Amino acid sequence: MTMIKSLILGSAAGLVALSGAQAADLPVKAKAVEYVRICSLYGAGFFYIPGTDTCIKLGGYLRVDTTFNGGIYGSPAWNGDIGQGNRYRDYFAARSRMSLLVDTRTATEYGVVRTFGQANFQFSTLGNNTFNPNSLATNLGNNTNLLDSTGAGYVAVDQLFLQFAGFTFGKSVSAFATPWNGYPGNNNSNLLGGHDSVTGVNNIQYTAQFGNGVSGTIGLDEPTVYSRTSVGYLQTYAATAATPTALATTTASSVSTLGIAANAYAGVHAPDIVGNIRVDQAWGLFQVSARAHEVSGSYNVLTSAGLPTGASELSGHPDTKWGGSVMAALQIKNLPTGPGDDFKIDATYAKGDTKNVISTSGASPSFAMFGGTSRPGAYQSLGVGYTSDGVYIPGGQIELTDAWGVRGAFNHNWDPYWSTSLWGSYAAVRYNGTATANYCAAYAAPVFGRAFSADYTCNPDFNVAQVGAVTRWTPVKNLTFSAEVGAFFLDQKMTGAITASPGATSPKPNTTYEFRDQSTVFLNIRAQRNF
């Protein structure tokens, strides 16, 4: 028994010694590596790029929306085939988009160095809101809507900029803009009445922080896209010997039947000078902005389409003029109607800078809308509104266009899941006496039988108004379904009737149309997931 006990104890001791020796031979387990290290300096979503002191945030959204009786992204039926209501129009247009953004920030002795980029991968209804072969067959190299074929799509760049020591370099929102740009409460990207550069413009800016939420920014913007509409070339062209005199005494005009003048903008000579003063505090925001904008015409001799000829360079040009715009904006938070509710409004006046009033996230529209009529002998009614920075006649000077607008929205949260915004705008475009006389002379040219009724009066001035509402449902965080209804009203100043063809590519007949105010309504349905 004593021997057996000794053997057991000895074996146990040997096993303990053996296991100790083996444990000593095993490698020590490495400390867990923190592959993703959270960066809490700049808010949620940032983490350190491994091996650096730079923080990065990756994000974006996926959005699917469809507009009925309008173009993609809630564009009203205010021109083109959809404005005519002809058989080439699409009754609805859809777009699917995934937006990806990259935001990097590094703390330095000069402050935070930041880079930001946002790109949108999207696929839309081919042609947006028209299947007119004349529209789809032109401008093949530049029309992104033509890329929306099977298995295709395109990439659009919103913003790409670098910030350092108060400076911003690159494609960013203009210093003229409010934080909400053209979206005080609406989903659609076509609320007129003020500035919208949400997709970025090439610029350089400097922002100074004065403390207590007060800041000032001054910058230089590249004006080609976000500050220009058109410079109207107003000219009529005499009949040639080859043209039967029975048709008319003149055979061409630089102003179309739909009231659109040929664009004669010259190249860019100077950047726009922009700036703002902003107070951003817990109660809300107040901002005043200003912009100086150069308006220049190309030549005195151009074709009816505004194209140069061999005589253009010898013909001279109108003098360059400077225009600009001013804006005041207000946001009020913490309203008694509920937590998170707010009210936003901005008002803008422009002279020779109409893009800051008749503005969308893309190009500024001119308006040509058709509707019903009760006028005896008329086929339909027509409403026109020509958008420009100025107009001129050969040998004359540019007459700058005046414009003003106001827009805003009230945003209400019913509960954590449901919210509603009521939005609206009003804008006006005005031509002075000389501009009106020159425009009307070109428009009244009897081009291939263009004729007017005895009670016709010409006035290119117009007003536009919009009103709408959007309701959103957020069943889970960062997933929102919404429905938006909007109405657009064109108050045009032409009276009487015109007998003419709406254009060579239009299916509408050469007949009589009554000038009349027009309106349209759209419905937009959207689903969006932010990440």
Residues 155-200: pLDDT tens digits?
999 999 999 999 999 999 999 999 999 999 999 999 999 999 999 9
Tens-digit pLDDT profile for residues 291-318: 999 999 999 999 999 999 999 999 999 9
Q: How far apart are CA 29 and CA 22, in angstroms?
A: 15
In the chain the first and final C-alpha atoms are separated, in Å, by 74
pLDDT of amino acid 248: 43
pLDDT of amino acid 337: 96
pLDDT of amino acid 134: 78
Q: How far apart are CA 298 and CA 333, in angstroms?
A: 47
pLDDT of amino acid 186: 97
Phi-psi region of 220 (alpha: psi -120 to 50; beta: other; left: phi over 0): beta
pLDDT of amino acid 13: 44
| Residue range 60-73: mean pLDDT, rounded | 96
Q: How far is CA 273 from CA 200, 277, 328, in A?
A: 16, 14, 17
Phi, psi of 380 (to 5 degrees): -150, 180
Tokens of 70: 């309008």
Tokens of 20: 């100790």
pLDDT band at 258 (very low <50, low <70, confident <90, very high): very high
pLDDT of amino acid 526: 98
Q: Is the pLDDT of residue 255 over 60?
A: yes
Tokens 């253009």 found at? 312
pLDDT of amino acid 17: 42
Range in 12-26, 43-57, 89-103 the model is least confident about: 12-26
pLDDT of amino acid 12: 42
Pairing mode, strands 380-385 and 511-515: parallel
pLDDT of amino acid 524: 98
Name the residue among 359, 351, 295 with its Cα closest to residue 325: 351
Q: How far apart are CA 196 and CA 194, in angstroms?
A: 7
Q: How far apart are CA 412 and CA 339, in angstroms?
A: 8
| Residue range 494-522: mean pLDDT, rounded | 95
User: Between 276 and 8, where is the model more confident?
Assistant: 276
Q: Is the pLDDT of residue 107 over 70?
A: yes
Tens-digit pLDDT profile for residues 112-145: 999 999 999 999 998 899 988 877 765 555 566 6
DSSP, residue by residue, 464-488: EEEEEEEEEEEEETTEEEEEEEEEE
Please say whether the beta carbons of 285 and 179 come within 8 A. Answer: yes
User: Between 8 and 94, where is the model more confident?
Assistant: 94
Q: How far apart are CA 407 and CA 422, in angstroms?
A: 11
pLDDT band at 23 (very low <50, low <70, confident <90, very high): very low
pLDDT of amino acid 449: 76
In the chain, what are the domains?
160-530 (2.40.160)
Q: Is the pLDDT of residue 35 over 50?
A: yes
- State the burial class of residue 84 (Cβ atoms within 10 Å of its Cβ: 0-12, 13-18, 19+): buried
Q: Is the pLDDT of residue 32 over 80?
A: no
Q: How far apart are CA 337 and CA 16, in angstroms?
A: 75
pLDDT of amino acid 8: 40
Q: How far apart are CA 415 and CA 184, in angstroms?
A: 20
Q: Which helix (H) or strand (E) holds 134?
A: helix 133-136
User: Between 36 and 234, where is the model more confident?
Assistant: 234
Phi, psi of 438 (to 5 degrees): -70, -40
Work out the mean pLDDT of the chain and round it to a whole number.
Answer: 91
Q: How far is CA 189 from CA 180, 186, 362, in A?
A: 12, 8, 8
Q: Is the pLDDT of residue 322 over 90?
A: yes
Q: How far apart are CA 287 and CA 274, in angstroms?
A: 13
Q: How far is CA 443 from CA 357, 387, 388, 457, 495, in A?
A: 24, 15, 15, 11, 14
Q: How far apart are CA 331 and CA 189, in angstroms?
A: 20
Q: Is the pLDDT of residue 16 over 50?
A: no
pLDDT of amino acid 396: 96
Name the residue among 109, 113, 117 with its Cα closest to residue 42: 113
What's the pTM? 0.89
| Residue range 4-11: mean pLDDT, rounded | 44
pLDDT of amino acid 243: 47
Q: Is the pLDDT of residue 98 over 50?
A: yes
Q: Is the pLDDT of residue 481 over 90?
A: yes
Q: Is the pLDDT of residue 249 over 60?
A: no
Residue type, 294: E
- State the burial class of residue 101 (Cβ atoms within 10 Å of its Cβ: 0-12, 13-18, 19+): middle
Please say whether the beta carbons of 412 and 404 come within 8 A. Answer: no
Pairing mode, strands 250-253 and 236-238: antiparallel
Residue type, 66: T
User: Between 257 and 6, where is the model more confident?
Assistant: 257
